[in-house]
Amino acid sequence: MGLNLESTISLNSASFERGMHRVKESVADSIKSFAIGAIGVATVEEAFRRTIETADELVNTAKRLGTTVEQVQLLRQAAKEAGTEMETVSTALEKINQARAKALGGDRAASAAFGALGVSQTDLKTKRAADLFMHEISETVKKVSPEQIAQPLREVLGRGAGQGIAVLKTDFDELDKKMQGFMMSGEVAEKLKQLSEGLSFMGTVLIVQLAPAILWCADALLTLMKSAINFAQWVDKKTGLGDAAKISGALSGQTDLKGQAKILGSILIQDIKNGGKITEEQRQSILKANGVDPARLDKDVKDSAGDSFMVFADKIKSTIDALLSGKLKGFDQEADFNATADVAKKMRGNGRIESDSLVKVGNFLGSNIGAVHAAARMEQYSKTTVELLRGVNQTLKTIQVQLPTKNFGGNGSLDGRMKNSSNYSGIMSLMDIPQS
Amino acid sequence: MIAAEFTAALPEPQIILGLRLWPLSLGRYRLLKRFESPFVDESPREISVQELTKELFFALLICGLPVSEFKSYLMQPKLLAKQAKRFGKIAGKHTKQKGFSILPCFEQFKIYCAEATAMPWHPLSTSRTNESESISHWSHSMEICLRSNAGWTAEEIEEEPMAKAMTDFFKYMESQGSVRLISHEDYSAMEAHGEANAKAFEEYLATLN
């Protein structure tokens, strides 16, 4: 019996761990070896040996027919499904090559035959026989009745044309899709062939991630990371408020959405606080426009960098609210205001608030804040505030992709109910923005 | 109950190298994991074809037997050998066929794993807190949840299809407000919507600069 539990385990932590590792390997490996031995080493080896033989034969056939390993497998399967032998197809391909040589050599009958089968002179010069067989000729055979093209087919495919018709009627695109994953790639076949020739000791196959139960997590993670890195790049390129490399680095391994928002916020705040890539004037403008107290900002950054971003976001919101209600006076950025308003007006188009572009942008903001409400605000935001909001909204977008919009305070559509909506409670609580 | 949920409860049977496989269950998944099968490896791994062939045969042996039976055979090597020999004989007939390649069998086993764990819908996390993740493997957390909250027995954990386990697990999580289950179509639409919105917003912002 193959179980081996004789590894020594001591209480010294390092050697204990090593010992545990050995025990684990030993038990698992010996059971596996025992089972493989019982299945039959010869059977397992036979499976491998046959695979190499098949690869060898595929590579050789592909070379002989002047085609790819994948095409050989497709043609073989098509022949099988059509109830004929691969030999029929091989012969047909060889005949195509012979007829092609004739046609290119000036033989009018051969040229006309190819023409009748939908093959142009350029195709003859540039495509492989298998390509002509599986595409141009196959398409013609599917469209035209065999009687009409019997003569050209005989001219190109030889006497076996009749048997070839059944294969030519195959939907090769569909077959290709069906066989994806089940075909041996040319690269793998070549490696295995080398193995058989003793040129290589190991053929390696890269196994893709196979734990499907957590695939959706991986999928979500990828989406998040992608949007976060995109965001980092945007920050770097457009606003100069952050450093893409720094943000990307800080986000690496960060899978939690709120955590992402905090990291991003923290970096942005640090950059604003320290000047970062922005000018002192811009920095002051941002702080002023959003009513942020630098002392408070310092404290926030020091106490809890992540949360301070949420406080900062809240300040932006308060500023906007103040702007809308006219409570905030002396907002001295008329040029920015007008530029933003112009764009918003253009987006509206003929005064119709439902214009496509506005709806799109409104949707973006609206999913989180309230579409029409947000769009209306655009006219009143300063450019700086819009830029900052954009950062917030990029983060929201990430969350929006991940979470149902109803969690953002019910503002998920552009219907009339939303027009006066200013309910941020959902998203604010999600992002830990203190609600006054 | 949507059609996919029925499929989750009773997946299509799979036959690889002549061996009819039992549905991939939590129990079977954990056995594969215990024996470090590359087919349940969560990260890509480079492995030689020879080694992978051995791994496939062993994985098929695990999935071709009831979990409790396989476990009991670990203590009764003669019985394990008997089952393995039986499988070896069947597989041998297949490997002798002309044009045989083991590579499609790898793919078929991948599909077996993927189909057995295909979710009928897309779960979306609604967690608002920043809880740290458990250090326990998700399969263990799932078992504890199913056994303590959904009335699953140890036998069901070992034998019921993984997709059924996931369906019940996420249904329970939904009832607790931890996730929201949406159809794959809705999820795709949501993603597309988000992308389109982002693009539109990007375009808009570009006009500001």
pLDDT tens figures, B121-173 = 666 554 433 344 455 677 777 788 888 888 899 899 988 888 888 888 878 87
Residue B35 and residue A32: Cβ atoms within 8 Å? Answer: yes
Q: Using a CB-CB distance cutoff of 8 angstroms, which residues of chain A are in contact with residue B40?
A: 210-211
Does the pLDDT at position A272 exceed 90?
Answer: no
In the prediction, which pLDDT does A153 show?
85
Q: Which amino acid is at B23?
A: P
Report, as an integer, the average pLDDT of A388-393: 46
Interface of A with B in 174-213 (CB under 8 A): 181-182, 184, 188, 192, 195, 202-213
The structural domains of chain B, with segments of one domain joined by +, span 2-116, 122-208
Report the residue count for chain B.
Answer: 209
Report, as an integer, the average pLDDT of A149-169: 81
Report, as an integer, the average pLDDT of A92-109: 87
Q: Using a CB-CB distance cutoff of 8 angstroms, which residues of chain A are in contact with residue B54?
A: 32, 36, 44
Does the pLDDT at position A214 exceed 50?
Answer: no
Chain-wide mean pLDDT for chain A?
Answer: 57
- Residue B42 C-alpha, separation from nearest chain A C-alpha, in angstroms: 5
In the prediction, which pLDDT does A181 show?
67
Q: Which residues contact A419 (CB under 8 A, 6 or more apart)?
A: A370, A372, A373
More confident residue, B74 or A259: B74
Does the pLDDT at position A127 exceed 80?
Answer: yes
Task: Using a pLDDT cut of 90, give the percent of chain A over it.
Answer: 0
Residue A216 and residue B122: Cβ atoms within 8 Å? Answer: yes
More confident residue, B71 or A352: B71
Q: Model confidence at B36, in pLDDT bands (50, 70, 90)? A: confident
Q: Lowest-pLDDT range, A245-259, B126-140, B188-202? A: A245-259
In the structure encoding, which two tokens stand for residue B138, read together?
Answer: 């998700």
Interface of A with B in 358-377 (CB under 8 A): 360-361, 363-365, 367
Number of inter-chain CB pairs under 8 A, A vs B: 228
In the prediction, which pLDDT does A304 show?
37
CA–CA distance, A182 with B108 (Å, rounded to integer):
8
Does the pLDDT at position B63 exceed 90?
Answer: yes
Does the pLDDT at position A6 exceed 70?
Answer: no
A242-A244-A250-A256 Cα dihedral, nearest 10 degrees: 90
Does the pLDDT at position A390 exceed 60?
Answer: no
Does the pLDDT at position B60 exceed 90?
Answer: yes
Run of H or E residues at B144 = helix B138-149
- Residue A420 C-alpha, separation from nearest chain B C-alpha, in angstroms: 21
Residue B54 and residue A44: Cβ atoms within 8 Å? Answer: yes
Residue B205 and residue A404: Cβ atoms within 8 Å? Answer: no
- CA A106 from chain centre, in angstroms, equals 49
Does the pLDDT at position A432 exceed 60?
Answer: no
Cβ neighbourhood burial of A243 (10 Å; 0-12, 13-18, 19+): middle
CA–CA distance, B121 with B94 (Å, rounded to integer):
37
In the prediction, which pLDDT does B58 show?
92
The pLDDT tens digits for A342-365 are: 434 443 333 333 333 333 443 444
User: What are the helix (H) ranges across A66-149?
Assistant: 69-81, 86-104, 108-116, 121-126, 129-131, 138-143
In the prediction, which pLDDT does B143 show?
84
Question: Which residue in this structure is represented by tokens 């299509």?
Answer: B12
Instruction: Centre a 10 Å sphere on the Cβ of residue A21 and count the other Cβ atoms it contains.
Output: 11
Residue B99 and residue A54: Cβ atoms within 8 Å? Answer: yes
Question: Using alpha carbons only, how large is chain A's radius of gyration in Å?
Answer: 34
Report the residue count for chain A.
Answer: 436
Residue B38 DSSP symbol: G
Q: Lowest-pLDDT range, A317-321, A430-434, B84-88, B138-142? A: A430-434
* C-alpha atoms less than 13 angstroms from C-alpha of A413 in its C-beta half-sphere: 3
Q: Model confidence at A195, in pLDDT bands (50, 70, 90)? A: low
More confident residue, B195 or A79: A79
Q: Model confidence at B57, in pLDDT bands (50, 70, 90)? A: very high
In the prediction, which pLDDT does B103 show?
83
- Say what the pTM is: 0.52
A55-A59-A61-A65 Cα dihedral, nearest 10 degrees: 150
Q: Model confidence at A250, in pLDDT bands (50, 70, 90)? A: low
Report, as an integer, the average pLDDT of B71-96: 88
ipTM: 0.70
Residue B116 and residue A204: Cβ atoms within 8 Å? Answer: no
- Residue A429 C-alpha, separation from nearest chain B C-alpha, in angstroms: 8
Task: Using a pLDDT cut of 70, give the percent of chain A over it.
Answer: 38
Q: Are A397 and A226 in contact (CB under 8 A)?
A: no
Of the partner residues B53, B81, B196, the one whose CB lies closest to the CB of residue A38? B81
Is A232 at the interface with chain B, CB within 8 A?
no
In the prediction, which pLDDT does A267 show?
54
